[in-house]
A and B are shown apart, each in its own frame.
Chain A
Amino acid sequence: MTEKLLEVQNLRTHFFTRTGVVKAVEDVSFYLEEGETLGVVGESGSGKSVTSLSIMRLIDKPGKIVGGKILFKGEDIAEMDEDRLLQIRGGKIAMIFQDPMTSLNPVLTVGFQIAEAVKTHLKLDDKAAMNRAAEMLERVRIPEARRRLNHYPHEFSGGMRQRVMIAIALSCNPQLLIADEPTTALDVTIQAQVLELIKGLSKEFRTATLLITHDLGVVAGTCDRVVVMYAGRVVESAPTHTLFKKPAHPYTQALLQAIPRPDEPPGSRLHAISGQPPSLINLPAGCPFAPRCVKAQARCRQELPPLETKGAGQMAACFYPY
């Protein structure tokens, strides 16, 4: 078996707040092969961002990685010292965030913010770094790239700023790109363009991508495999086509039914999932989805279903799948 690019094993990240311990990520495991695109989906608050920030070791107090391993090419990021971590961040694993309006430093030029990353990881001099920055702006299709280097973030639109973020992220040829809802904050018309760009460039740069989204429609056209998260846990993981054709977990099924479909007559009702996700401070015993699950049995409320193989490449945490 070849070594995985990234292998997250039993990751647990908790927030020690005044009101209690928020178990934002609890026993999460998944992996990514080189060059692969993995989607992570789940409702708001299911722990997607905390998982990705944990991989970057960007979890701040009161949060803490309390257990598990984050193996990046065999090295455990969870145990890494600060110096090695600085080499990994931006150099080997890069990240794009949700809100491009606030993710760039308002007082530094766009060129500087790209060149800075390049200088840190590729050890180029100022001039070479600026050239690289211009090249990156071109590759994310920002017109008049060279002139735009000296512009400040406020002189760019939201979509353009997200392109700049992509340019920064890919400027040092990372092996893994984490994109945390990169299109959520953008206009619908721009979303598709930015997504295409990420797709195209990650292929060009041979970068594996961890694409976080709450939009299964995005996953369908982009990802090789999908991980579904619920209440800080992985409830299902499967190749994308399997997931869409034969979802194992009732939560995945409910998510799929919530997607508006073009073949349904307009005006027909969307199947929203009734109920609220549980509080992450006092998780009930048993399956966290049981209170909202249409198939739940007595056993589901007492015992936590383990994540088990249900089919080819498909795993689910459910006693009564399909």
Chain B
Amino acid sequence: MGLLSNLPVLLVLLAVIALVIYSGIRIGPRFLIKRLAGLVFVLFGVTFITFILGYVTPGSPVQNLCGAKCTPSQLKLLYHIYHLDLPWYEQYATFLNGLVHFDLGFSFTQRGRTVWSILGTGVPISAQIGLSALVFALLIGVPIGIFAAVRAGTKFDTASMTVALVLFSIPTFVSIPIYQIITVQLSQHGLPHLPISGWGDSPIEIVAPVAILTIVELGFYARLMRTTMLDVLNQDYVRTARAKGLSRRLVVFRHAFRNALVPLVTAIGPAIAFVVTGAFFTELFFNIPGIGFQSVASIGNKDMPVVQGTVIIVAVAVAVMNLVVDMVYGILDPRIKVS
């Protein structure tokens, strides 16, 4: 594992940083500052809403934690540890104060574990799987979509888009069990096969979950790319490019593809952000301790600090990716004037 398996995460991080710097120079720092200020405002709102949700959730969260033989003094201590004995505004202030120190408090259900450590183990695993799948889906899906659009109406187009639609429509809770049944069969016949499930024992375990997610997303991106490319290829400026005597390759990539990137970026931005929520079914079936599994479990357990932590992380990711998407727009399309 180590560096190699974290490569997609690292690459995306590097790309984001490079982009912020580049667009800061190109579209101007004023835009950047304005957007960053907006981001802070949005996050403030999100933290407040998540806090209030936790505050008004009925039932005493620490009662369970304390157990059946709970003495009133023990309960009182727990209330104090979780700051539940304070009035709401002081609770919120403590919550915010913790937030800026990257302290999200303790889990209600996992004794002694901080929310930060739960997120800190889950999110990287989910991100690693999610981003790898996204990268592969783009690497395969985008060229297929372009090719299908260029060859619109041919057998390749019809066949690839039908397959893409099927791939996109099969839910993971169907495809994963099918994969696992096949794997069991393979192993019973002594044939080479991938692990059925598991995490942390061997780097090869990542292959199956990434492949499953790639397949779903691949169908989506192939179809999206075909639609947008087809639209762009029918534009007047593509005809102008052809009338200049440019080769088909130049027409498709220099003139059409660049204009088809905007819808693609619009889709990829949120997709990267939601990687931090993890893929629930994939993590469940493959027994992966990612954040998707954890966060759904914490909702069931009314583990409000973990739920709040997840919501905040998602909010940060979405807000940051929106900013990134806007900056990419500014770079891709000179008509977008940022004052």
Contact = CB atoms under 8 A, between A and B. Distances in A.
A88 interface: yes
Interface in A53-87: 56, 58, 61, 85-87
A216 interface: no
B236 A152 contact: no
Given A61-B153, A106-B237, A107-B333, A116 B243 contact: no
B244 interface: yes
Given A105-B237, A105-B240, A120 B335 contact: no
B243 A56 contact: yes
Given A104-B237, A106-B259, A107-B258, A152 B334 contact: yes
Contacts of A85: 245
B235 interface: yes
A90 B243 contact: yes
Interface string A104-124: 111110000000110011000
Nearest to B262: A107
Given A106-B335, A152-B334, A154-B334, A89 B245 contact: yes
Interface string B167-205: 000000000000000000000000000000000000000
B259 A103 contact: no
B255 interface: yes
A107 B334 contact: yes
Contact of B335 (A103, A121, A154, A165): A154
Interface in B108-156: 153
A40 interface: no
Interface residues of B, number: 21
B334 A102 contact: no
A215 interface: no
B335 A117 contact: no
B247 interface: yes
Nearest to A57: B242
17 contacts: A58-B243, A87-B245, A89-B243, A91-B245, A94-B243, A97-B243, A99-B236, A102-B235, A103-B240, A105-B241, A106-B237, A106-B259, A108-B255, A120-B244, A154-B335, A168-B240, A168-B244
Q: Which 3 A-B pairs have the closest CB atoms?
A: A90-B245, A89-B245, A90-B244
Given A85-B245, A86-B247, 18 more contacts: A58-B239, A58-B243, A61-B153, A86-B246, A88-B245, A89-B242, A89-B245, A90-B245, A97-B239, A103-B237, A103-B239, A105-B237, A107-B258, A108-B258, A117-B244, A152-B334, A165-B240, A168-B244
